[in-house]
């Protein structure tokens, strides 16, 4: 009896948005470990600078939503953040006394260093898409710290034709410009939640080759994807969780699907 080869995976990349964050608290080590186990091609994370200049993976300006603490990330030091619990909120509170508590309860803040180490140790190629948040506040400090850290892992300066395992994403053209000056070979993704008039024909900011439109843009203007492709750009769409949106992205031939549920998306597109 012949062995049936598994169906080849479509070329689209599946990116775990904040980790496998539908099931596990976002931006925790557990969420990224699950994303790797789920088979994600890449991990997405947001980075913010602490008061003592460390890059941590936190989406909001404040820690209130995703931890048991309060305050702005930018006014807290890493030690303050490390004392908080970034896991228990997901299941509605701390389960310290509960023997069935999920193993991500009492999870500390995730530093970008730790996430990079996870990527390096993944045992298979896993890419990382790092989003700089509100970077104009610090006069370039976020970008400088990011490049310093990537340099420590040998990831800021890809050589030859080997695809870079790291790319930088931002809604801020200023941040992408700074990144190009500091690490010109690192791919940049220009995120959009609306399409600025001058980019409607598929053009992107100088030296940016990847567009990151929201799924809302793609639903409203599906032909925008073809315009971007015709202009020679790749298209990474966020945040694509509904099966019908996954279908739309596949039909339009987008290059990456950024999703909170990478396992489910992979099953859908491989099925």
CB 18 → ligand G3P: shortest distance, Å?
7
Interacting residues with Ca ion between 25 and 54 (CB under 5 A): 46
Query: Two tokens at 218?
Result: 């793609």
In angstroms, the CA 117 to CA 135 distance is: 24
The partner in contact with residue 176, picked from ligand G3P, Ca ion, none with C-beta cut-offs of 5 to 8 angstroms by kind, is: none
Among 17, 27, 233, 236, the one annotated catalytic: 17
DSSP-based three-state secondary structure for 15: strand
Distances (CA, A) of 215 to 56, 174, 210: 26, 23, 15
Is position 17 annotated as part of the catalytic site?
yes
Alpha helices, DSSP H, located in 92-222: 112-120, 141-152, 173-182, 215-220
* Interaction of residue 143 with Ca ion, rule CB under 5 A: no
Q: Could you tell me the smallest distance in angstroms from the CB atom of residue 95 to Ca ion?
A: 27
Task: From the list ligand G3P, Ca ion, none, pick the one residue 41 interacts with, judged by a Cβ distance below 5 to 8 Å according to partner type.
Answer: none
User: Residue 95 or 216: which CB sits closer to ligand G3P?
Assistant: 216
Nearest residue by C-beta to Ca ion? 131
Question: How far are the Cα atoms of 41, 178, 211 from residue 31, in angstroms, in the given order?
Answer: 14, 29, 25
* 23 binds ligand G3P, rule: CB under 6 A: no
- The full length of the chain comes to 271
Report in angstroms how near the CB of residue 46 gets to ligand G3P at its nearest.
5
245 makes contact with ligand G3P (CB under 6 A): no
Q: Is 229 a catalytic residue?
A: no
User: 5 burial class (0-12, 13-18, 19+ CB within 10 angstroms)?
Assistant: exposed
Of these, 23, 38, 105, 131, which contacts Ca ion (CB under 5 A)? 131
Residue 12 to residue 96: CA distance in whole angstroms: 41
- By CB under 5 A, name the binding residues for Ca ion: 46, 131
Cite the active site residues. 17, 59
- By CB under 6 A, name the binding residues for ligand G3P: 17, 44, 46, 59, 131, 169, 191, 212, 238-239, 258
């Amino acid at each position: 009896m012949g062995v049936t080869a598994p169906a080849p995976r479509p070329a689209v990349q599946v990116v775990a948005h904040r980790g496998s964050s539908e099931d596990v608290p976002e931006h925790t080590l557990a969420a990224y470990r699950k994303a790797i186990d789920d088979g994600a091609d890449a991990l997405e994370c947001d980075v913010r600078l602490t008061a003592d200049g460390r890059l941590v993976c936190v989406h909001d300006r404040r820690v209130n939503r995703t931890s048991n603490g309060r305050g702005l990330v930018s006014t807290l030091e890493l030690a303050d953040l490390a004392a908080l619990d970034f896991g228990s909120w997901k299941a509605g509170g701390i389960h310290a006394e509960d023997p069935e508590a999920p193993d991500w309860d009492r999870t500390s803040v995730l530093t970008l260093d730790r996430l990079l180490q996870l990527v390096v140790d993944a045992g298979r190629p896993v890419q990382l898409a790092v989003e700089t948040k509100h970077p104009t506040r610090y006069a370039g400090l976020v970008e400088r710290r990011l490049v310093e850290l990537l340099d420590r892992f040998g990831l800021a300066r890809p050589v030859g034709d080997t695809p870079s395992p790291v790319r930088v994403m931002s809604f801020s053209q200023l941040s992408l410009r700074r990144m190009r000056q500091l690490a010109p070979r690192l791919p940049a993704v220009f995120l959009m939640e609306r399409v600025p008039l001058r980019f409607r024909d598929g053009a992107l900011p100088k030296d940016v080759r990847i567009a990151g439109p929201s799924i809302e843009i793609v639903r409203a203007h599906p032909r925008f994807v073809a315009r971007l492709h015709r202009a020679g750009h790749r298209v990474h769409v966020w945040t694509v969780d509904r099966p019908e949106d996954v279908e739309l992205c596949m039909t339009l031939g987008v290059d990456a699907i950024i999703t909170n549920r990478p396992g489910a998306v992979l099953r859908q597109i491989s099925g």
